[in-house]
Structure 1
Amino acid sequence: MKKTRLFLLLYIVITMTLVNLQTGLAFNKTQIPLHIEIGLFYEGTAKSTVHLKSINGFEIGKFSGDHFDTILNLYEPKEIILRKDSYYIGTGGSFLEYTGPISNGMTNINLQGPYHVQISNGFNNRQDAEHLIDSLSFMEDKAYLVYENGWKVFTGLYTDPEEAGIKAAEIQSISGETTKIITPSLTRVQVLDLFGKPIFMFDSNEDIYFRGFQDKANNTIVNIDGKNYRGAVTAKRMSNSDMSIVNKLLLEEYLYGVVPREMPASWSIEALKAQAVVARGYAVSNINRWRSVGFDLCNTTRSQVYGGYDDEHPNSNRAVSDTASRVLTHNGKLVNAFYHANSGGHTENSENVWSQPIPYILGVYDEFSLNAPNSTWTEVLTKNEVRDMLEKNNVFVGEVNNIKVTSVSENGRVLELTIYGTSGTEVLIKENSRRIFGLRSTWFTVDGAENPTNDLHDIMVKNTTNNVNKIELHNKSIISANGVTKISNPSNIKIYNGKNYRSTETISSKPADTFVFRGKGFGHGLGMSQHGARKMAEEGYNYIEILSHYYTGVKVE
C-alpha cells in the first residue's frame, strides 16, 4: 500500500512538472506600462512652431515615474505657442521661421531672434525667480521664467549679440543685477502668447510636459494644432532638428484613439474587443521602438494608427475598457499580435513573410475572410510601369520581358517572384514582391507576357441603340432566385435569353504589354484578419474565440 501511494505521489509530481514545463511561467503583468509616449510630429513632419490650447489653462511639469509633478500653473493665456529657439517673422499668432540672412542692427520690428539676456544667477526654486520678475516690472521687455538646469530669469527675443549686449548693460545699470547674454540653443524651446511675448522657456532635455487642467469628466485634454489629445504633450529637439511633438498618456487611453482607427467602431463589439487586445499587445511588445528619437511608438501605420481624443467612439472605448490590461500570451510570454485587413481565406506562417518562425503565428484556414472587401483583387500594370517601379527600388533589368511566380509557400503566398528583362533577371523575395509593385498582398498569380490570360470572360450585351458592349464577368455577381452569388468560374456561365441558353464568350483581352496580377487578401496575412474577426463576431463568436482561431496556442491574460 505504501509503495502504491509513493508511486502515485511520484506520478502526480512528474505530471505537474511536465505540465508546468509545457505551459511555461505565468505572464508578468509588470511588463504592461501605465503610460506610453506617442510621436505625433517627428522626422519629416517635425515642427518649428506648434499651437496648444486648453479650455482651463495648463499645468506645466515633469513625470516622476508615473506621477506628474507640477512645476508651474499657467491659467492665462489658454492658447500658447511652442517654438524652437530661432528667428521668426510674424504677428497675431502667426509666426514663420526666418532662415534668411541676419545682419547686425536689423530693425524689422516683426523679426524676433534667439538671443536673450539672463538676469541674476540661477535660483533654487520658482518662487525666488518670480520675486525677481516682480521687482523688474518696470522693464519694457518683460522678464520671464526659464527652466534650464534649474530656475532662471531671461528677457528678450533679440536678433544679435550687440542688441542683447545693449539691453544687458541697461538692465544691469538700472536694477543692479548681474546680467549675461544667452546665445541660441539647439535644445531650447520658447513658449509665447499669441502676440509673440515670451511666457516661459525650457530646455527640451529637461522633459517638460504641458497638460490641460482636468475637465468635468476628469479628462486632461490638450488641443495640438487643432486636434484634441488626452494626457500631456512635450516638444523635443533632436540633433539640430525641428521639434518632435510627443503625446504622453495612459496606455489604455492611447488605445481609445487606436482601436477606432484600426477597425471601424460600428463593427460588432466582440471584434472590437479582439482588436483592443491585439493593439494592446502590439503596443507593449514594441514599446521603446522609437526611443532613439524621443518616444515609444509613432501615430501612423509604421506603428499603429492613433487619432487621439477626437477619433474616440463609445463602442471602441467600451471594447478597450472591457478588456482592460488583457493581452495575448504564449507559454507565459507576451505575444506580438500582428494583424491585417483580410487574409483572403488563409493566414500565413511568419517565416514565409519575414524571416523568423514565430510559434503562435501559423497559417490557418480562414473561411470568415471570404466574400469580404479585398478577399480577391486584380491589378494591371504595363511593362513601362513595372520597369519604373523596379528602378525606383534600384532594380535594373532593362526592358521587362516577363514576370513569373517561381516559388510559393504551403499556404499559397509568393516566396519568389522572378523578373525577366533584357539586361538580366531579378528575384524578388517574399514581401518585396508586393511592396515594390504596391500590391495588396503576396498571395497572387501573374498573367505575364509568356502566359497570357485566357480566362477573361465577357458577356456581349446589346443596348437600346443596338450598340454592343462587353461586360467582364471576373469578380462580378449574379442575382437569382437563390440570392446574390459571386462568379467564381466565368467559363461555366450560361445565359438564357427566353428561348435558348448561350455560353459566355471567352477572349484573350489582356493587352500584350501588360501584366495582370490576381490576388487574395489585403496585408501581410499574419495573425488576425480584421474582416475575418468581424464575420466571426457577427456569427456569435466572442473575442477570446476569435483570437484563439487566428493565433496558435495562445491565452488571454
Structure 2
Amino acid sequence: MKNPFFILLYIFFIIIILPVLLTIGIYKDNIFKEEVVQNKKIESLNIKVYNSKEDKVETMNLEEYLYNVVASEMPATFNEEALKAQAIAARSYVFYKMENGGDKIPQHKGAVVCTDHNHCQEYLTIDQLKKAHGQDWMEKLWPKIKKAVDDTRGKVLVYEGKTIQPLYHSTSGGKTENSEEVFSAKLPYLRSVDSPYEQGSPKLVSNVKISKNDFVNKFKSNDIVISDNIKKDIKILSRTEGGSVKEIKVGNKVIRGRDVRKILNLNSSDFEIKVSDNYVNIITKGYGHGVGMSQWGANGMANKGYKYDEILKHYFKGVKIEKKY
C-alpha cells in the first residue's frame, strides 16, 4: 500500500502549489509583455508639431524632429560635442513642454511645440535646409547632425527629478545671465556663469552707429524725450551679474536695458553708449538674451576638449542627464 503521507503531499501540490506557480508565471509574463509594449511605444515616440508657416499640426517622430531643430539652431560645422549638447537641450525643451502643458498654449493649436523660432525652437524642413546650405552641405554635414542626435538618443536634462527649461542663446559676451534678470522666474539651474571660450563668435562684439536725430526719434516714438544734450541725458544706473544693463536713465525716464535693446534693435542688453559730434555709437557684447547655454561658448568648450555632459553641467547648474528611453 502506498504511503498516505506522499499521497496527501501530491494532492496538496496539485491543488495548491501548482496553481500558485502558474499564476505567478502568467503575472510575470504579463508584466514583461506590458514593459515590452511600453518600451516599444517610447522607442517610437511621436509628437505633435504646429507648422506655423503652413498653419497645420503635423505628427513627427521626436528624434527626426530633432535632426531638423539641431541643424537649424546650431552651425553644423561646430564640434560634435557642442552639437550633442544642443541635441540634449533641444530634446529637453520638448519634454519640458510635454510636461508643462505645451499643448494648451494657444499659439500651438493643440500641438506640444511649434516651428516659429520666436516662440519655440527653430525648425527648417529638409528642402529649406537644402536651399539654405546646398546639396554639398546635405551630403557632408547632415550625417554629422544626425549622429549627434542619435548618439544622445532619449537623453534630457533634469533638476530634482523634473525636466528643466533649457534656455540657450548664440553668444553671452563672456558671462551668462541669471534667469530673473531677463525673464520673470528665478530658476536654480539658470545661474550666471563665465563663458570664456567665445572668441570665434562673429557677434562677440558689435558696433551700431546711429545719427543723433535717429537716436532721439527712436526713443521719441516710445514716449521717451531726450534733449539735444544726449550725453547728459543718457546714464547707465546698474548692471546685472552677467554684465547687461539693468537700469538706464534715458531722457525723462528710467527704463530697463532690455527695453533699450528692443527700441534700438541691438544684439544684446550688454552695451555701452558713446556720443560723438554727429553720431551715437552703441557697442554691444554677445548676441541673444544671455540665459542658459551659450552656443558659441559650448563650441569653444568642445574645442578645448570638454565633453557634452561637461558643457551642459557648466551652463545649467546642478542638473543631471537622464535617459528617458
Q: What TM-score range do you get, normalising by the shorter chain? A: 0.7 to 0.9
Question: What SS does the aligned partner of 1:327 have?
Answer: strand
CA contact under 8 A between 1:40 and 1:247: conserved in structure 2? yes
CA radius of gyration, larger in: 1
Of 367, 378, 382, which residue of structure 1 is paired with 2:207? 378
The aligned counterpart of 1:264 is 75
The aligned counterpart of 2:96 is 285
Question: What SS does the aligned partner of 2:51 have?
Answer: strand
Residue 332 of structure 1 and its aligned partner are, at CA, apart by: 1.1
The aligned counterpart of 1:360 is 189
Q: 1:483-520 deviations in whole A, cap 9, x for unaligned?
A: xxxxxxxxxxxxxxxxxxxxxxxxxxx3x242211121
CA contact under 8 A between 1:353 and 1:430: conserved in structure 2? no
Residue 245 of structure 1 and its aligned partner are, at CA, apart by: 2.3
The aligned counterpart of 2:223 is 395
Question: What SS does the aligned partner of 2:89 have?
Answer: helix
Looking at structure 1, the residues matched to 245 and 104 of structure 2 have their Cα atoms a distance apart, in angstroms, of: 31
Residue 289 of structure 1 and its aligned partner are, at CA, apart by: 5.8
Looking at structure 1, the residues matched to 245 and 124 of structure 2 have their Cα atoms a distance apart, in angstroms, of: 34
Question: What SS does the aligned partner of 1:545 have?
Answer: helix
Taking a change above 3 Å as real, the CA distance of residues 367 and 260 of structure 1, as seen in their structure-2 partners, is: same
CA contact under 8 A between 2:219 and 2:226: conserved in structure 1? no
Looking at structure 1, the residues matched to 174 and 191 of structure 2 have their Cα atoms a distance apart, in angstroms, of: 14
TM-score, length of structure 1 as denominator length: 0.44
The aligned counterpart of 2:258 is 431
Q: 1:314-335 deviations in whole A, cap 9, x for unaligned?
A: 1111111111111111111111
The aligned counterpart of 2:124 is 307
CA contact under 8 A between 1:32 and 1:284: conserved in structure 2? no
Q: 1:442-493 deviations in whole A, cap 9, x for unaligned?
A: 1111114xxxxxxxxxxxxxxxxxxxxxxxxxxxxxxxxxxxxxxxxxxxxx
Residue 39 of structure 1 aligns with an amino acid whose one-letter code is Y
1:416 aligns with 2:230: no
Q: Give the aligned CA root-mean-square deviation in angstroms.
A: 2.5
Residue 371 of structure 1 and its aligned partner are, at CA, apart by: 5.0
Q: 1:31-72 deviations in whole A, cap 9, x for unaligned?
A: 999222223235xxx6xxxxxxxxxxxxxxxxxxxxxxxxxx
Looking at structure 1, the residues matched to 235 and 43 of structure 2 have their Cα atoms a distance apart, in angstroms, of: 46
Residue 390 of structure 1 and its aligned partner are, at CA, apart by: 2.9
CA contact under 8 A between 2:176 and 2:194: conserved in structure 1? yes
Residue 285 of structure 1 aligns with an amino acid whose one-letter code is Y
Greater strand proportion: 1
CA contact under 8 A between 1:445 and 1:518: conserved in structure 2? yes
Taking a change above 3 Å as real, the CA distance of residues 301 and 384 of structure 1, as seen in their structure-2 partners, is: farther
TM-score, length of structure 2 as denominator length: 0.74
CA contact under 8 A between 2:261 and 2:268: conserved in structure 1? yes
The aligned counterpart of 1:317 is 146
Question: What SS does the aligned partner of 1:418 have?
Answer: strand
Residue 146 of structure 2 aligns with an amino acid whose one-letter code is N
Residue 414 of structure 1 aligns with an amino acid whose one-letter code is V
Looking at structure 1, the residues matched to 61 and 237 of structure 2 have their Cα atoms a distance apart, in angstroms, of: 48
Question: What SS does the aligned partner of 1:541 have?
Answer: coil
What 5-or-longer segments of structure 1 have no aligned partner? 1-28, 47-243, 449-509
Taking a change above 3 Å as real, the CA distance of residues 550 and 378 of structure 1, as seen in their structure-2 partners, is: same
Residue 281 of structure 1 and its aligned partner are, at CA, apart by: 1.2
Give the alignment of 1:490-509 within 5 angstroms.
none
Give the alignment of 1:163-174 within 5 angstroms.
none
Question: What SS does the aligned partner of 2:234 have?
Answer: strand
Taking a change above 3 Å as real, the CA distance of residues 391 and 249 of structure 1, as seen in their structure-2 partners, is: farther
Give the alignment of 1:190-209 within 5 angstroms.
none
Residue 260 of structure 1 aligns with an amino acid whose one-letter code is A
1:515 aligns with 2:280: yes
Question: What SS does the aligned partner of 2:306 have?
Answer: coil
Residue 223 of structure 2 aligns with an amino acid whose one-letter code is V
Looking at structure 2, the residues matched to 327 and 389 of structure 1 have their Cα atoms a distance apart, in angstroms, of: 43
Task: State the aligned residue count.
Answer: 262
CA contact under 8 A between 2:224 and 2:250: conserved in structure 1? no
The aligned counterpart of 1:531 is 296
CA contact under 8 A between 1:416 and 1:433: conserved in structure 2? no
CA contact under 8 A between 2:176 and 2:195: conserved in structure 1? yes
Residue 117 of structure 2 aligns with an amino acid whose one-letter code is T
Question: What SS does the aligned partner of 1:404 have?
Answer: strand
Question: What SS does the aligned partner of 1:367 have?
Answer: coil
Q: Which has the higher contact order (CA 8 A, sep 6+)?
A: 2
The aligned counterpart of 1:41 is 52
Of 56, 76, 91, which residue of structure 2 is paired with 1:245? 56
Looking at structure 2, the residues matched to 415 and 270 of structure 1 have their Cα atoms a distance apart, in angstroms, of: 33
Looking at structure 1, the residues matched to 74 and 96 of structure 2 have their Cα atoms a distance apart, in angstroms, of: 20
Of 280, 297, 322, which residue of structure 1 is paired with 2:113? 297
Q: 1:88-132 deviations in whole A, cap 9, x for unaligned?
A: xxxxxxxxxxxxxxxxxxxxxxxxxxxxxxxxxxxxxxxxxxxxx
Residue 426 of structure 1 and its aligned partner are, at CA, apart by: 2.2
Looking at structure 2, the residues matched to 387 and 39 of structure 1 have their Cα atoms a distance apart, in angstroms, of: 40
Identity between Structure 1 and Structure 2 (%): 37
Taking a change above 3 Å as real, the CA distance of residues 428 and 249 of structure 1, as seen in their structure-2 partners, is: same
Residue 406 of structure 1 and its aligned partner are, at CA, apart by: 1.5
Looking at structure 2, the residues matched to 383 and 282 of structure 1 have their Cα atoms a distance apart, in angstroms, of: 42
Residue 339 of structure 1 aligns with an amino acid whose one-letter code is Y
Residue 433 of structure 1 aligns with an amino acid whose one-letter code is V
CA contact under 8 A between 2:293 and 2:315: conserved in structure 1? yes
Looking at structure 2, the residues matched to 31 and 386 of structure 1 have their Cα atoms a distance apart, in angstroms, of: 54
The aligned counterpart of 2:36 is none
Residue 122 of structure 2 aligns with an amino acid whose one-letter code is V
Taking a change above 3 Å as real, the CA distance of residues 398 and 372 of structure 1, as seen in their structure-2 partners, is: closer
Residue 550 of structure 1 and its aligned partner are, at CA, apart by: 0.9
Residue 515 of structure 1 aligns with an amino acid whose one-letter code is V
Looking at structure 1, the residues matched to 187 and 199 of structure 2 have their Cα atoms a distance apart, in angstroms, of: 25
Looking at structure 2, the residues matched to 250 and 547 of structure 1 have their Cα atoms a distance apart, in angstroms, of: 24
